[in-house]
Amino acid sequence: MREYQSLLVEQQGAIAHVMINRPAKANSMDEAFWTEMVEVFDWVDRTDSVRVAVISGVGRNFSAGIDLQMLAQAAGSMVADIGRNAERIRHNILKLQSAFNAVDECRKPVIAAVHGYCIGGAIDLISACDMRYCTPDAHFSIKEIDMGMAADVGTLQRLPRLIGDGIMRELAYTGRPVYGEEAARIGLVNQVFADHDALLEGVMDIARQIAAKSPLAIRGTKEMIRYSRDHSVADGLNYIATWNAAMLQSEDLKVAVAAHMSKKPAEFAD
């Protein structure tokens, strides 16, 4: 793995551990972060030996969201013409969105392990992940409203499908914090672990369980879930029928059946 400016990436067996690595800045998302996320998740997607990805934060926090210095620099680059400013801002927003689209569209499951601050852009990030887990002190907040803006990198589009429309609106309109236990109660996270060490241990165990399954079956399942999220039931049923017309001919199915009958662990090819 090459070295990154804002991320630390390690491959642990079949698991890619992607760590936001700016602890002195509460892991805020600087300009390099957005480009590196696209690059890293392209690598995760196309690397057969990686079957699952875990995202966490180095130090005391997951992430305090977008680096305010980056916003200040963007504001300083504005010109006199409103039309050109609007085009530039739109282009920049779409570029930021692509970083988390890369997470959402990655064929491999992506799990967020959250502790400390998870604010603003960090909510956009975890909303794009497959599952989320946290510590009791994890601090979630859709902070954009307190900055005089609407969240624009995925929270308002993805979060209602995770926690429901009403509670999402409450959090988006008020910016109030949600901590670990409430996050679990409203469905923002799957489970709360006692502390950071237990969180990483628990999430890695879940990742290992996923990595032990047929990679084709896991990737197909994620594809179907994503497709069904954005299409009708009828469209989803038609797609899975077409998908499995090919995938049910995979060697993975034979391996899984043989392992089940012999009561031995299955070993699937990457």
Strands 52-57 and 110-114 turn out to be: parallel
Q: Active-site residue 267, yes or no? A: no
Residue 233 carries which side chain, given as an amino acid letter?
A: V
Tell me which of 65, 121, 154, 220 is the catalytic residue.
121
| φ and ψ of 179, to 5 deg | -105, 175
CB-based contact 78:85 (threshold 8 Å): yes
Tell me which of 20, 55, 66, 126 is the catalytic residue.
66
CB-based contact 188:172 (threshold 8 Å): no
Residues pairing with 191 in the sheet:
133
Tell me which of 152, 170, 182, 223 is the catalytic residue.
152
Q: Active-site residue 81, yes or no? A: no
Q: Active-site residue 152, yes or no? A: yes
Tell me which of 67, 104, 124, 130 is the catalytic residue.
124
Q: Active-site residue 67, yes or no? A: no
Residues pairing with 114 in the sheet:
134
What angle (nearest 5°) sits at the alpha carbon of residue 8, between those of residues 4 and 11?
Answer: 115
Q: Active-site residue 121, yes or no? A: yes
Tell me which of 144, 180, 218, 220 is the catalytic residue.
144
Active site residues per annotation: 66, 121, 124, 144, 152
